[in-house]
A and B are shown apart, each in its own frame.
Chain A
């Protein structure tokens, strides 16, 4: 066995993890500072494993969570492509939560963006070693050895050898340095950029796919937890006698709130847990608890009144935040036309089809978890913090996520399961009911925006004032965080793409009374609606075509300065807008009662333009067609990217048509899919997606399709009816 070259940290070959196999990996775990420094989204941060077995089986460890974005397939395909592997031999193994894999936080539409090249290098490095192994075996020049479809071929003689038969030889080959690795030319890609079906498709279609809720252990218990109807209320007293009468119920346990430390983690809400030998009995037991609650600090939260409060606040001056250009006051004074508008949106909730859940087993000083989590390392760190386990004694097995949309980044449900497993000394699966999910989430922020804009005598936008009020995600980590944070304002507010001489952005106070969290595309949903609606109003006021108006407003071709790994490029934004004009046959003759609306948005470094076509019949809206154009740089799995864009359109429709979480006396009024409705098959429009084909570095896919949808629909409603919808959802206007 060759000695490990530990001086070079780029690639370290590790032997012995799988008997008889060649395992090529990377190990940065000894240098945490390096990981932290590298985790800037652009630097090389190796975090994947390639494992080749003698029978040719190629196992690729994927360290990001699979929640429908197809990451298990795309990551594996990028490695397999560079490795010249035959896809039939590839299988994926899900990594547990461990810092040795680098950043595993599956969030921010960044897995492909940050990991494509490291992944490709992993594959290319493995290929190079297999070619060297063949050369050694044949005693020939490595230049003659070319990997092709799971074989290495000697081009001088034509003889070939199967990858699996090179395992032993490959173990003796020195790991090549990173700079000696060459990546394939785009024209030679076999899998990258091609249509590849999901690696999990068989399991998905046969009921074999294992989500968190499908985790099973011998003698496991099932738990349901009654939580206070108001956020951060507490248990005064409870009577469990009706609960323990339920067949299957074994125990009832009071849980105190675990409050996270300032700045990190999620803790758990606490409440009263019912332990049973099946899920149904746990649910029934929970329903039969009689609990007297102290409703706590948020018992007066009323979202309707809150809406009035933040709406009135945005009509007054807030904190001016950069960038500020020129003087909006002067622009408004000199204008030939000034218009203003106020937009509001309620809280919304993720409602992934698989409810939050976790199976935990604490035994012999060890803590093992099976759960659908987006960020297993944070879960691990959180469990170490609250329960005092050493990190190495905590194993986070990442199951498939039955949808997540940001909800499963917050690991409160794992903390609950661990507490209960400790208390009952058995494996415990905590299962949230749908009602729990709708009523005790980390909600997307309710919000109000005020915009004021001016047109000069040429119909050009001269001034832009934008005031924003919404409770910040930061409030879930730090008390008294009463203003939107910089990262939230950077999602479409302070990085407004338009070339306007006088701009002023104001951040307006908004306190949180429920837990606030990120939800697919985060505050881009808010800016996407406000900015696109208001630009439409300005376009109408100017009398110009809405697409021409936007192209003018984006202004000159320019690339933003700064140290972004993917600098904002106005030409690419204008390009998607021009493309969607063609794709949608913009301003074609439409039937009576139909209208088209356009919206554009730049988020997660990707460019999207969307046109919606709606029809109005008896005051009710039907979305007939959605046309979306995406520029996300190069695609790894194009079909999966298209699928994400289709899904984003439906997700955006759900929040536009129905999305509303409201509270009275601190209690969420919705409870299940009958009153928190989703887009269904009968509402689904035709969706037309075009992906710009280019060689730019890959950027976000999972989220960028969502932000333009709401305004594209309301702008279309305006074109169909002349009615400007400035508050969502449409169900509040009797339009669905």
Chain B
């Protein structure tokens, strides 16, 4: 039995040591906002933050997160709130499935930089595939979130 701290709450998880976090979060803890897309860290749908760093939960073991703070899309942070607002203003999602991962990757980007260039966005967001193709809006929403933060 392991203890995982997710979005400020502790969960007792009975998972094999080699189980990726994604499946512990989805199938054992029951938080389904974090998505399965590829299982091999190629698409970013399963992105979460561990102690402030964005990781692909499909390729991170449960044991690597024990004693650390996990943030998923169900959680909150100031930058995530800004991004939710601009995601909404720009009507970013189509099917919405990849957007949990997109928002988490974008949160990590906003956490790491004061001002953000197109190149920063390309670098931070190219690990997240959106098959619906909402990239133009994601880019705009990230820039708008930086603006929103500057105004706040």
Contact = CB atoms under 8 A, between A and B. Distances in A.
B28 interface: yes
B49 interface: no
5 interchain residue pairs of minimum CB distance: A207-B33, A650-B133, A402-B97, A68-B95, A68-B94
Interface string A188-205: 000000010110111111
B19 interface: yes
Given A647-B133, A684-B135, A207 B72 contact: yes
A681 B94 contact: no
A351 B37 CA distance: 10
A279 interface: yes
Nearest to B42: A673
B32 interface: yes
B32 to A, nearest CB: 4
20 contacts: A198-B91, A201-B93, A205-B93, A213-B32, A279-B26, A279-B27, A352-B131, A353-B37, A355-B36, A402-B96, A405-B131, A434-B39, A643-B94, A647-B134, A650-B135, A672-B40, A673-B40, A679-B135, A681-B122, A681-B125
Contacts of B32: 207, 210, 213-214, 216
A649 interface: yes
B55 interface: no
Interface string A244-283: 0001100000000000000000000000000000111101
Interface of A: 66-70, 195, 197-198, 200-211, 213-214, 216, 222, 247-248, 278-281, 283, 351-355, 400-405, 431, 433-434, 639-640, 643-644, 646-651, 654, 672-674, 678-682, 684, 686-687
B94 A207 contact: no
A403 B137 contact: no
A204 B35 CA distance: 12
Nearest to B58: A280
A214 B35 CA distance: 9
Contact of B133 (A204, A283, A651): A651
Contacts of A679: 133, 135
B45 interface: yes
Contacts of B134: 643, 646-647
A200 B126 contact: no
B4 interface: no
Contacts of B89: 197
B52 interface: no
A35 to B, nearest CB: 29
Contact of B31 (A207, A434, A643): A207
B95 A353 contact: yes
Interface residues of B, number: 57
Contacts, number: 183
Contacts of B42: 672-674
Contacts of B88: 197, 201-202, 205
Nearest to A66: B95
Contact of B139 (A281, A651, A684): A684
A207 B100 contact: yes
Contacts of A673: 37-38, 40, 42-43, 129
Contacts of A404: 95
Given A405-B131, A650-B130, 13 more contacts: A205-B88, A205-B93, A207-B100, A247-B16, A281-B16, A354-B35, A643-B137, A646-B136, A646-B137, A647-B94, A672-B40, A684-B135, A684-B136
A500 to B, nearest CB: 34
B91 A195 contact: yes
A248 B96 contact: no
Contacts of B111: none
A69 B94 contact: yes
Nearest to B27: A278
Contacts of A222: 27
Interface string B119-152: 0011101111111111111110000000000000
Given A403-B132, A649-B133, A208 B96 contact: no
B99 interface: yes
B95 A674 contact: no
Nearest to B94: A68
A353 B131 contact: yes
Contacts of B130: 353, 650
Contacts of A400: 95-97
Contacts of A431: 36
B126 A209 contact: no
B69 interface: no
A211 B7 CA distance: 22
A105 to B, nearest CB: 18
A252 to B, nearest CB: 18
A112 to B, nearest CB: 15
Nearest to A404: B95
A204 B27 contact: no
Contacts of B37: 353-355, 434, 673
A201 B93 CA distance: 8
B27 A280 contact: yes
A664 to B, nearest CB: 22
A521 B47 CA distance: 31
A206 B74 contact: yes
Given A214-B32, A247-B16, A646 B26 contact: no
Contacts of A195: 91
B126 A204 contact: no
A66 B121 CA distance: 29
Contacts of A674: 40, 42
Contacts of B16: 247-248, 281
Nearest to B19: A280
Nearest to A675: B42
B91 A640 contact: yes
Contacts of B95: 66-68, 352-354, 400-404
Nearest to B129: A678
B50 interface: no
Contact of A70 (B43, B73, B74, B94): B94
Contacts of B34: 207
Contacts of A211: 35, 97
Contact of B131 (A213, A247, A403): A403
Given A205-B99, A403-B95, A672-B38, A681 B138 contact: yes
Contacts of A248: 16
Contact of A213 (B36, B87, B94, B99): B36
A403 B27 contact: no
Please indicate which of the listed interface residues B27, B28, B129 has the most CB atoms of chain A within 10 Å of its own CB.
B27
B14 to A, nearest CB: 10
B28 A197 contact: no
A644 B94 CA distance: 8
A654 B23 CA distance: 29
Max count, chain A CB within 10 A of own CB: residue among B16, B32, B95, B127: B95
Contacts of B139: 681, 684
Q: Which of A206, A213, A351 lies at the interface centre, i.e. has the most chain B CB atoms within 10 A of its CB? A: A206
Contacts of B136: 646, 684, 686-687
A681 B74 contact: no
A67 to B, nearest CB: 6
B133 A353 contact: no
Contacts of A355: 36-37
A206 B87 CA distance: 11
Given A206-B33, A680-B126, A353 B43 contact: yes
